[in-house]
Amino acid sequence: MSDHALRLLREQPHLAELAAFPFNFDLTRADHGEAVRLASDGPLEAVAGDDTGGTYFVCGDGSVLYADSEGSAGIIGNSVDEALEVLVGLPGWHDYLGLAPADGEEKIRAAVAETEEEIREYHGIDDERTELRAGLGLPERSPVELIGLLHAALLRTEPDFLLLNAEEGGAHDLLDRHPRPPLWETVLARGRTDLTLLRAGSAWDEVAGDRARRALALRAAQFDRREGDLPLLRHLLRHEAEASMTDELRLAAVLVGLHGCAEDLPLLYEVRETDFDTWCGLGGMPEPDADPAELRSWARGLDDSLFGTDPADEPLFTWTGLAREQGLVELARAALIRRLDDIDFRAYRDARDGKAMERRDASQLSSLVHEFEQLGDTFQALRAQRLYVPLQTRAWDRVSAVLRLARLEREEGRFGAAIRTLASLRDTLAESDGAGGVGGSGSGSGSDKSLGHWQRTNLGAYIVEEHYAVARTAATDTALADEVRAVTVAAGELLARLSGTARANVERHLAGTTDTHTDSRTDIHTDTGANLDAGVSAEPTPPQPSAG
């Protein structure tokens, strides 16, 4: 990727003036006006701007990303040289974002001629174009060639060059509206290739022995079902059982079961008995001596409720998870950010209109937090968790969600925010206690008794551990010295309130902590409110109200 032209512009003021006018690539306008970054956290350098408030950025691989002042962005060249070829050769390039080589030479030339005639009514471009091309050493290309370069560059924008608002985390819209293949099509491509190999009798052990390839091959078989696939499905099923309970294991069992062969019942039963998780996950499976029709009926029921034959019907998280397993991290990240942006916009719109955020977004937000954490993107996970917290109405769920929020804030280095979040958590505990409690005041929480025995649960232990973790990490910020002392005191008071067994286990855990991170045990997901694990609390906890 060449930056030859950019060096010449910086060295020769006359060429820089020509680039700025009439071709609107102005080196003096490189301030975008708001902080932005790539979702991938790749390098991004602003090098020029235009008179509409747009900015040209150079990315790590030399590609040029243009961001306009309306919140849209797109790659316009593989290098500064190529981008300048487009800008100089197509001074009305903004009008051609919808054009593609498939539109044909006649349509492209007509569109370019019309726009350039309009420009010539106000100022010259022909002599200036000849001079700038010569000065920068740019080749002379036809409008058709330049539209081809621009179109190909724009299609590269997502996922690798997705531009975000650095403060809020929302993504810019695409500069163009050219259609892209759906996420599932890109993710499934490798699986389709492997399924073809399996059907040809090749690479059975290579595909079955690789977790990511095996999962993709099973997904490909889900959407392209053939009568002769039973032997390869049995082979994939046996290997998938080694991974314990997964969605793909259930899928493999369903695909085998749909063939309705009596000889498969012992195999399916053996898979179900692999461990406790598979026993639960494949519940309802017919016994080994069942009628084949019963097996087929069981498989059809699961197929209708969980799978099907249209990849477009699969949840987003199926494809982002499979993308991540293939190493297509930016593809997964871009899709997840787009989904989070949609939910965030609905939340903004509902708040503006005085309406409550829709409950249907709660489960999606929880999944988004998990998926972002799997990608190591704590910034976006934190953004999703902030939207998730207000949707929790039961005290137990609210405290669990706030605890996770505090952990994400800590991991993002937002120590002051984490300390304030833990203070709000203690307020909720105090309201549940109904008698002031630790670090807050309240007069009870009415009929919500879900936190009535928090001191004897894992949740109580995790709350204490997170207080100490925040105190340790925030201690590096001298400006927070008073707040750190307060959260340390609160941690000690909370520890003293835990049951004997829970307190002993927390103390043992804290004694073994050698770094500034606690593990992911602060993510509490339960509908019972008890969440008791052996060794954390041996004391009985009464049943709690369900979340429903």
Please give the pLDDT value at position 446: 53
CA distance 93 to 115: 9
Q: How many Å apart are CA 187 and CA 427, to the nearest integer?
A: 45
Mean pLDDT across the chain: 91
Please tell me what DSSP assigns to residue 29: G
CA dist 107 and 439 (Å) reads 70
- Over 70: is that where the pLDDT of 176 sits? yes
pLDDT, tens digit, 9 for 90 and up, residues 265-293: 999 999 999 999 999 999 899 999 999 99
pLDDT tens digits for 420-463?
Answer: 999 999 999 998 886 344 443 333 445 678 898 899 999 999 99
Cα–Cα distance for residue pair 22/125, rounded to 1 Å: 7
pLDDT band, very low/low/confident/very high, at 18 (cuts 50, 70, 90) = very high
Note the pLDDT of residue 358: 75
**Least confident segment among 13-27, 178-192, 403-417, 441-455:** 441-455
Dist. CA 75–CA 154, nearest whole Å: 5
Per-residue pLDDT at 378: 98
Whether residue 524 is predicted with pLDDT greater than 80 in this model: the reply is no
pLDDT, tens digit, for every residue of 48-65? 999 999 999 999 999 999
Dihedral angle sign, alpha carbons of residues 30, 36, 40, 42:
positive
Pairwise CA distance, residues 395 & 111, whole Å: 62
For the segment 497-517, the average pLDDT, to the nearest whole number, is 81
Over residues 130-136, the mean pLDDT reads 97
Give dist(CA 55, CA 47) in Å, integer: 8
Place of tokens 């987003």: 316
DSSP 301-364: HHHHHH--S-GGGS-HHHHHHHHHHHT-HHHHHHHHHHHHHHHHHHHHHHHHTT-PPPTHHHHH
Q: Read off the pLDDT of each residue in 27-53 and give the average, rounded to a whole number.
A: 97
CA distance 7 to 444: 69
Alpha helices in 176-315 (DSSP H): 183-199, 204-208, 211-223, 230-240, 247-257, 265-272, 276-281, 292-306
Q: What pLDDT was estimated at residue 363? A: 86
| In the predicted structure, residue 356 carries a pLDDT above the cut 90 | no
